[in-house]
Structure 1
Amino acid sequence: MLHFICLILLASGFIVAQEKHLLCRTTDMELFYNSCGSSTETFFFEVEPCYLNGFSKWNGTIFWIPKRDLTFLRVILTLRHKTKKVIEWRHVACTGEDDEYTYCGALKGETINTTVRMSGDKVNIPMGKYTATLKGYSGHSEADLFVCVNFTLILKKEPAYNFR
């Protein structure tokens, strides 16, 4: 489920401005994003289908032109409900050796265009407003931040999954 939340929070949108943009609106949820860094990184992520109910598998498409080489990529996703931290997910996506993702090793300015399959687990997620921050680092230091995105997820009803 954590992968699903992470990926649906990245649902389609270009990250180029500080203002909030609508990514997805369905009968059960609304999703908005805005950049939280000074970067004008060209980054697009789309998840299909763009809603929770009835699905446990999704396709994610990534289009990205990084402003740094992707020999090393560390990602941190923090999800909050009201003021309480719900999840903090840390993942080293690229290490420079035997990486599983096709975009690892991409050079600065090189276009990354790939599709990945995702799946989620059934969990109870209460209705309400959630905020998330996704940060990508090209190194181990906070100074190596090069992608930062804030998300607002409003769940209007609790998801009902159809797992097969």
Structure 2
Amino acid sequence: MFTIIIFLIGFVPVKTKHVVCDEPNLELYYSFCGESFVTTAAMKPCVFNRQEYVNLSMTFIPRTNLDYVYAIFEVWHNSFKVSDATYPMCSGVDDDFSFCGALKGETIKLFKREHFPRLPDVKGVFTSKFRVFAGLKEEQIICIDFMLNIKE
């Protein structure tokens, strides 16, 4: 029995952590949940406070047309869900995002200069799941798990 359990554990897929930011007071990693996506993410400079602006960027290649798109963003702090929000992104009318209407297979590059004025003064580990769905069949096109550790 023990041999069978060891054998099965060997086939459990391990998520690869991709480093976005690794500083003495801050760590930010992401990994893909579900299928592998051609995605990169970056945050420069590597700070996370209320006053500082950071440059966020992401590149991906969608597997479907981006006419109707929405995102679900969930955040936990030390195993407690602190946020759960759905954001409509593309509806086909007056869309705010440049990637709306992009076709399957196009390379999408996103860039945003942002600061976090509502960031709580809470230290510890935050985990989040960012999922993006597209099309009338609501096909999941991106699924990323983030881990943020604010140390001081």
Both structures adopt the same fold (TM-score exceeding 0.5):
yes
Q: Within 5 A, what are the aligned runs for 1:151-162?
A: 151-157=146-152
Q: Contact 2:68–2:90 (CA<8 Å) still a contact in 1?
A: yes
Q: Distance in 2 between matches of 1:18 and 1:92?
A: 28
Q: Distance in 2 between matches of 1:125 and 1:48?
A: 21
Q: Contact 2:66–2:102 (CA<8 Å) still a contact in 1?
A: yes
Do structure 1's residue 25 and structure 2's residue 22 form an aligned pair? Answer: yes
- Give % identity: 29
> Could you tell me which of 113, 121, 145 is aligned with 1:150?
145
Question: Is there any run of 5+ residues in structure 1 with no aligned partner, and where?
Answer: 1-16, 158-164
* Structure 1 residue aligned with 2:6: none
Query: What's the TM-score, normalizing by structure 1?
Result: 0.75
Q: Contact 1:43–1:64 (CA<8 Å) still a contact in 2?
A: yes
**Cα distance change, pair 41–28 in 1 and its aligned pair in 2 (3 A):** same
Kindly tell me the number of residue pairs found equivalent between the two proteins: 139
Alpha-carbon deviation of 1:122? 4.3
Alpha-carbon deviation of 1:132? 0.7
**Cα distance change, pair 43–36 in 1 and its aligned pair in 2 (3 A):** same
Aligned residues: CA RMSD: 2.1
SS in structure 1 at match of 2:94: coil
Do structure 1's residue 109 and structure 2's residue 94 form an aligned pair? Answer: no
Could you tell me which amino acid in structure 2 is paired with residue 25 of structure 1? D
Q: Distance in 2 between matches of 1:41 and 1:96?
A: 24
Do structure 1's residue 64 and structure 2's residue 60 form an aligned pair? Answer: yes
- Structure number with bigger Rg: 2
* Structure 2 residue aligned with 1:74: 70
**Cα distance change, pair 22–62 in 1 and its aligned pair in 2 (3 A):** closer
Q: Contact 1:41–1:67 (CA<8 Å) still a contact in 2?
A: no
SS in structure 2 at match of 1:146: strand
Deviation string for 1:58-94 (max 9, x for gaps)? 2222322111111111111111012210111221111
Query: What's the TM-score, normalizing by structure 2?
Result: 0.80
* Structure 2 residue aligned with 1:37: 34
**Cα distance change, pair 33–115 in 1 and its aligned pair in 2 (3 A):** closer
* Structure 2 residue aligned with 1:3: none
SS in structure 1 at match of 2:92: coil
Q: Distance in 2 between matches of 1:135 and 1:85?
A: 16
Could you tell me which amino acid in structure 2 is paired with residue 18 of structure 1? K
Alpha-carbon deviation of 1:140? 6.8
